[in-house]
Amino acid sequence: MSPEIEDLGRAPFAAVLTAMRALLADVLAGRDPGRILLVEHDRVYTAGRATPRTELTSDIVPIERGGKITFHGPGQLVVYPIVRLPRRDVRDWLRRLEAFGVAICGAFGLHAEPSVDGTGVFVAGRKVASIGVAIKQWVNLHGIAINVAMDLSAWQAVRPCGLSPDVMTDLSAAAGRPIGLPEAKAAARAAMPALLAP
């Protein structure tokens, strides 16, 4: 039974994080086959496990995923696959998430490349998607955030994933035309079978 894709629309991060953790518990207990959540968040900065303590401030939410600080906000599509990994191989899963992001870019005629460390997707040297996960007993938590049509100034407040904020871009800027979340969601749905293939 394939996991369902659930579109949450726009939702605050805290509520979705609570729902993700509950879903994780259900998958681990065998009560749920898992789901892929699609969401656009209200503005929030989150910090993964690799974030230095000196970079944590009161307005940044520390969470259990890998990586450093990132931003979620309007105009960004976040994909949370709360599913059992197709293979018991974390590197394979990160490569799949990168390939998923590359495929979404390809749907808009963009040549994208994965990062060298499993943390993102780049177009012409600029980052359009960020990856951060936590794996619990071979079940995934968190996922990939694809910048679609964002106010990129939000990145200037932090060093996203430890990089210069100027490296961040979105699909609309890269493609030279406005791209909406409905288009990005359609591309994500089309790329989903390859992400979850055995």
- Token pair for residue 64? 């259990």
Residue of 79, 103, 161, 181 marked catalytic? 161
- C-alpha distances (whole Å) from 126 to each of 12, 57, 96, 154 are 27, 26, 20, 16
The dihedral sign for the CA sequence 61, 67, 68, 70? negative
Q: What order of strands is seen across the sheet that includes strand 126-136?
A: 4-11, 35-41, 76-82, 139-147, 126-136, 120-123, 112-114
**For residue 129, what are the β-bridge partners?**
121, 146
**For residue 145, what are the β-bridge partners?**
78, 130
Say whether 105 is catalytic. no
Beta strands 60-62 and 69-72 are unpaired
Please check whether residue 80 is in contact with residue 64, taking contact to mean a CB–CB distance below 8 angstroms: no
Beta strands 44-47 and 4-11 are unpaired
DSSP 81: E
Active site residues: 161
